[in-house]
Amino acid sequence: MVPDDMPPRLRSLVERALAAQAESPTPPLPDPEPAPGETREDWERRVARVRAQHDALALETAARYGFLGDRDDPVGSIGYVDIPVEGGTIAARVYRPIDPGDRPPAIVVLHGGGWWMGGGAQGYRLGDGTCRMLCHGLGAVVLNVDYRLAPEFRFPVQLHDARDVVAWLRRGAGPQVDPDRVAVAGTSSGGHLAAALTLLLKDEGEQQLAMQVLVAPAVDLAEDPAGLEDPQALRGIETLRRYYAGDAPNRAIPYLSPLRAPDLSGLPPAVVVTGDFDPLTAPALDYVERLREAGVRVDHVSAPVTHTIGAQEDWRAAEEQILAACRELL
């Protein structure tokens, strides 16, 4: 159902997307674990095959309807690095500004995709505009991190990957940046990881990040989004949570549900971006309130968009607000 109060230009986009979905349904999500009698190798191949289909659909949707960061800002250079992490090595695409100065700030970008998609070459393409925007608009070195994906890798692997990237940057092993101005930015599941990362660094007694940018973040894995009643959508959300959290007996722990952390004091200033028609917005707004109550500065940017769809002029307005807030913090 399309809400009655949805603006006409957004309604038109959403109705087009719903019609396209009805005509060509999204491939079903693969099972969170191998089926009875299926080897892990066969299951991983099946996951990879369906993931590629979903990534291709995400690229098509982005091209058709636009998205946050759908822009082509100039940057100085783009390269790739391999980063050692606990249990392996991951890659990142690195954006350097045209005039980086002596020690520029750095932003670790954690992509969205329900913890299970949005990685690799397709993820770099999806995140290119956002990374360019942050690099050009803030004069920052930006790393689009290809963290390990669920369900092959589960919590806390992705969170530890993010932590290890920050540590790698700060010890000067990669691009030369200001270790005191390392920030994190994430969208949706990436926003979840970004929020959890700040809690992890606090608990481990590490230097806190300079800033956290949370775009449509998933901050509560313990409960279904309020107001979302579509059974198919709810089943899909539960599958994604199982991909990442597995059969964790308590999804209310802070690293899975940052909203439920007992103490949010000492976290870095935040820029939180929400959509007026996104089911993840209600818990995100609760998180904004709790951060503020804990003494954390929060700049809140809202836009008349869904979780993934919005009119270009509304995305552009939100982007300018995001950059303005980030410039004050970084």
On whether residue 245 sits in a domain, the answer given is: yes
Which two tokens mark 99? 């005039």
Domain count, the chain: 1
68 versus 223: which is more confidently predicted? 223
Residue of 138, 257, 267 whose CA lies nearest to 199: 267
Where are the alpha helices (H) located in the chain, listed in sequence order?
8-23, 40-65, 120-138, 157-170, 189-203, 231-245, 281-293, 312-329
Active-site positions read 188, 278, 307
On whether residue 193 sits in a domain, the answer given is: yes
pLDDT, tens digit, for every residue of 108-131?
A: 999 999 999 999 999 999 999 999
On whether residue 45 sits in a domain, the answer given is: yes
pTM of the model: 0.96
Please state which of the ranges 12-21, 27-36, 261-270, 293-302 shows the lowest mean pLDDT. Answer: 12-21
Assign residue 72 the CATH number of its domain: 3.40.50.1820
* Mean pLDDT, rounded, for 275-298: 98
Task: Find out whether 109 and 127 touch, Cβ atoms under 8 Å.
Answer: yes
**Strands 141-146 and 298-303, sheet pairing:** unpaired
* Mean pLDDT, rounded, for 192-207: 99
* Mean pLDDT, rounded, for 310-325: 96
On whether residue 173 sits in a domain, the answer given is: yes
pLDDT, tens digit, for every residue of 6-39?
A: 999 999 999 998 898 888 888 999 999 999 999 9
With b meaning 16 or more CB within 10 Å and e meaning fewer, what string describes 296-312? bebbbbbbbbbbbbbbe
- Position 227 scores a pLDDT of 79
On whether residue 131 sits in a domain, the answer given is: yes
CA dist 284 and 213 (Å) reads 12
Question: Which whole-number Å values give the CA distances from 185 to 22, 145, 211, 215, in the listed order?
Answer: 33, 11, 8, 8
On whether residue 167 sits in a domain, the answer given is: yes
| Domain interval for residue 276 | 9-329
- Position 21 scores a pLDDT of 85
On whether residue 247 sits in a domain, the answer given is: yes
On whether residue 1 sits in a domain, the answer given is: no
Which two tokens mark 186? 């994430």
**Sorting pLDDT into bands at 50, 70 and 90, what band is 69?**
confident
Report whether pLDDT(234) > 80.
yes
Residue of 198, 247, 246, 243 whose CA lies nearest to 219: 198
CA dist 58 and 189 (Å) reads 15
The angle formed by the CA atoms of residues 63, 64 and 65, to the nearest 5 degrees, is 100
